[in-house]
Amino acid sequence: MQMTKVSASCYAVLNEKNRVCDANSGLINRGGGVVVDTQSDLAHARRMIELFSTVWPAKARRVVNTHEDGDHVWGNQLFAGAEIIAHRSVPGRMKHVAHPEETRKLLHGVKAAASRSALEALHPGVAAAGLQLAQDYDLDGVELALPTTVFDERLELDLDGLAVHVIYVGPCHQIGDTIVHVPAEGVVFAGDVIFRQCTPMGWVGTFEKWFRCLDMIAGLRPAVIVPGHGPICGVEGVRDMKAYLTYVRDESRKQFDAGRSSLEASKRIEFGPYGAWRAPARLYMNVERAYREFRNESPDAPWDTPATFDAIYEVAKAKRIEVEY
């Protein structure tokens, strides 16, 4: 984990491995301090606070959660007394998708030989994901701390004269997708609507909605974008995300029209220039998402998470690459 200054008032903490749960956080050190996203467990959250304390010695008065996923909210409890801001959908969604108990059980389970062997036989992808997570994360002690302030479309903060715009853009990756824009300093904290140098994952929403969101961010003309995952970028990060999603949707259409399943399609579609991104086999999620649209299914239809992780595992094995999430 490292901290980088990205503008006069803005900082980013980055997790360099850039795999699942390796989320980024931000700090705006004005007006009592605003932290953007709070990391994936208590140890990472404490390290984030330690790094930010070198430039902002007090605990931040506000936190913004860019969406409901656990890797962006599991450090919330360390900000007792702070105003925690998120889109109106996020508190309810957190109880559904970010409750730590299921992941905590997985992390404990893969550490014991008997339960790990049983899981590998039943769901090899889930076991592989759990083993990867256990290398860096420990959810013991994590409790959900829900947002205390919710908004619908837009919330404007005045940080001692510095305007900060909290803007709802979802659903793209998740229902509660939100960006934080600091216009005077040309900074956007993008949450998981932008992945950089790692394969994006979208759980809810449509390709067109994601495209519109990316176009909107480009229209803000940011000098710096802090993505939800991956290194800091500029508008090239927007272009690369849109190009990847366009490529996957177009290739998926060809496979769908040929009558192949989303899993078989994922094994056939070439990674192309995106093969160097982390976790390229997550391609399956984006292909399946495209197939759902082609079948006119609801964009918020639930996922079978174990089956999804198993499919990613199978794609990686078929393409003879490292299994990575």
Structure confidence at residue 100 (pLDDT):
97
Fold of 2-97+141-238: Metallo-beta-lactamase; Chain A (3.60.15)
Q: What is the pTM of this model?
A: 0.97
Evaluate whether 64 touches 85 at the Cβ level (below 8 Å). yes
Residue 59: Cβ within 10 Å count: 16
Evaluate whether 39 touches 245 at the Cβ level (below 8 Å). no
Q: Where are the domains of the chain?
A: 2-97+141-238, 100-134, 243-318
Q: Which among 190, 186, 245, 211 is positioned nearest to 23, based on CA atoms?
A: 190
Convert 202-249 into a string of H (helix), E (strand) and C (coil).
CCCCCHHHHHHHHHHHHHCCCCEEEEEECCCECHHHHHHHHHHHHHHH
Alpha helices in the chain (DSSP H): 42-52, 70-73, 90-97, 100-111, 113-122, 124-134, 207-219, 235-257, 262-268, 283-294, 305-318
Please write the tens of the pLDDT for every residue from 224-249: 999 999 999 999 999 999 999 999 99
Residue at 38: amino acid letter = T
Residue 236: Cβ within 10 Å count: 10
The structure tokens 């090239």 sit at 236
- What does the block give as tokens for 63? 């936190």
Q: Which among 146, 145, 210 is positioned nearest to 174, based on CA atoms?
A: 210
Structure confidence at residue 143 (pLDDT):
97
Evaluate whether 237 touches 194 at the Cβ level (below 8 Å). yes
| Phi and psi torsions of 206, nearest 5° | -130, 160
Q: Which among 278, 236, 232 is positioned nearest to 21, based on CA atoms?
A: 278
Q: Is the pLDDT of residue 57 over 90?
A: no
Q: Mention every residue, 6+ apart, whose C-beta is less than 8 A from residue 93.
A: 68, 174, 175, 176
Residue 13: Cβ within 10 Å count: 25
Please write the tens of the pLDDT for every residue from 172-205: 999 999 999 999 999 999 999 999 999 999 999 9
Candidate from 56-60, 116-120, 244-248 with smallest mean pLDDT:
56-60
